[in-house]
Chain A
Amino acid sequence: DTAVSQTPKYLVTQMGNDKSIKCEQNLGHDTMYWYKQDSKKFLKIMFSYNNKELIINETVPNRFSPKSPDKAHLNLHINSLELGDSAVYFCASSQVVAGEITYNEQFFGPGTRLTVL
């Protein structure tokens, strides 16, 4: 009964390759996020989707492209991987209701540790 799941958990690849990370949530939430956590544990938001619509798009290289086929899934595709992309990528979800006060408690997946060689 995993709430937010990500695959793969570990990803080791060569520079220049293209890779994807998948995320699924079974909480019925309407908003999903991708975060990047660097080696110093600093967590930064990359993207957010609300009901399959992109609502947050931080200053991220356009080699990163999120895709949300439905509101339970948010995938992250990375083209032409670079050494600096090595990090742990976290997917998260929350329930955000427009027009009402929400708590925006976010539920995180276990993370995908990406190593680019």
Chain B
Amino acid sequence: SQQGEEDPQALSIQEGENATMNCSYKTSINNLQWYRQNSGRGLVHLILIRSNEREKHSGRLRVTLDTSKKSSSLLITASRAADTASYFCATDRASGSRLTFGEGTQLTVNP
């Protein structure tokens, strides 16, 4: 399986609910990033968490990182229909190295 696997593969919630997506990886990492991809568009960087950080916030986003479990979670609070997109985690093993993307979680927020 790939470095960087998200679950669930698909998530459907109602507007106002919270959405939680998880990412697991296999090797040690330098950073872990989350990206969003709207249908037919390129990826947009959301948030980066370094390997020595455990939690990070940005607006309605909260990311956690557990390096002992090699996993991360992305929480979107008070979701909106505009949050409907695919969400990818991406890891890199060293500064400046390639990013390895997970398979993505398709989030649908129903109005």
| Residues of A in contact with B (beta carbons under 8 Å apart) | 4, 31, 33, 40-45, 48, 50, 56, 90, 92, 96-98, 100-111
Contacts and interface: CB of A to CB of B under 8 A. Distances in A.
30 contacts: A33-B98, A40-B103, A41-B103, A42-B2, A42-B101, A43-B88, A43-B101, A43-B104, A44-B101, A45-B99, A56-B98, A92-B43, A96-B95, A97-B96, A100-B95, A101-B95, A102-B96, A103-B31, A103-B48, A104-B97, A104-B99, A105-B45, A105-B48, A106-B90, A106-B99, A108-B35, A108-B43, A110-B41, A110-B42, A111-B41
Interface of B: 2, 31, 33, 35, 37, 40-45, 48, 86, 88, 90, 92, 95-101, 103-104
Contacts, number: 62
B38 to A, nearest CB: 10
B96 A104 contact: yes
A92 B44 CA distance: 10
A35 to B, nearest CB: 8
Nearest to A90: B42
B86 A41 contact: yes
Given A41-B86, A41-B103, A42-B103, A102 B95 contact: yes
